[in-house]
Amino acid sequence: MELGERMNQHALALVDVRKRFGQTEIINGVNLEIVAGERHALIGPNGAGKSTLFNLISGRFPVSSGSIALNGTDITSKEPQVINRLGLSRSFQINNIFPKLSVFENLRCSVLWVLGYRYSFFKRTSALRDAKESAERTLEMIGLENRREKMAGELTYAEQRALEIGITIASGANVILLDEPTAGMSRSETEVAVELISRVTEGKTLLMVEHDMGVVFDLADRISVLVYGEVIASGTPAEIRMSKKVQEAYLGTPIDGDEE
């Protein structure tokens, strides 16, 4: 009863989630609650299992045990497309776009399902005004209007990063998972990206993995720290900054904004 209620209040609720690959337990009983509407950052040293946790939540891998709920609905080990249709959308650490489609087509393909066109082969895509307008809105949001007809595979790295976020948010999902959105970006590109992320996740729930502490402290309402497959602390940026446990996990170095 109590568990059910807890799940209901949260955009995402993970209860004792575990993942083993063979003998190695990568995720070691994670309990995590993401409040609807907050921007939540997941940090932790390399190999802590952050990306694995993302893959479990988004259905890329099945969990070994435990349960995951999205807006109160159980999504444990469901297929990615099923989870996506329930309103969760994710991006990838390594660009995962449709390289031979145009930028516009990348975004249009990302809204077809949610607009109800499914596997239709009786309608002309070019006649679907809502799909076109939706794709154009996203295009404008990610600032790639002048790349509209370019093949996505020909974009610069930073542009592909922006498109990666565009594909993720295009469908209007209300829970967004971003996996290291600023990975590999220069300082100035990162600033643009942070501004973009805060704009496109307005009024939505955001969970993101990020290494750049500047980005984390800029964006996050709350932070969780994952070390060796366990969440060792969860709290506001100020609380995390002060936490002894977290400082120890980061080998005694205080967390601040200059870390690369």
Which of 61/217 has CB closer to other proteins? 61
Which of 3/82 has CB closer to other proteins? 82
Closest approach, Cβ 110 to other proteins, in A, equals 4
Closest approach, Cβ 29 to other proteins, in A, equals 26
Which of 15/115 has CB closer to other proteins? 115
Residues 4 and 127: their CA atoms lie apart, in Å, by 44
Closest approach, Cβ 242 to other proteins, in A, equals 37
Closest approach, Cβ 139 to other proteins, in A, equals 15
Residue 216 near residue 222, CB atoms below 8 Å: no
Which of 153/254 has CB closer to other proteins? 153
Closest approach, Cβ 71 to other proteins, in A, equals 16
- Burial string for 49-71 (b: 16+ CB within 10 Å, else e) reads bbbbbbbbbbbebebeebbbbbb
Binding site for other proteins (CB under 8 A): 58-59, 79-81, 84-85, 89-90, 92, 96-101, 105-106, 108-114, 117-126, 128, 167-168, 170-171
Which of 29/172 has CB closer to other proteins? 172
Q: Which helix (H) or strand (E) holds 249?
A: helix 244-249
Contacts of 86 (CB under 8 A, 6+ apart): 70, 71, 73, 75
Which of 172, 98, 170 has its CA nearest to residue 135? 170
Q: Which residues pair with 15 in a beta bridge?
A: 67
What is the token pair recorded at 239? 């609380």
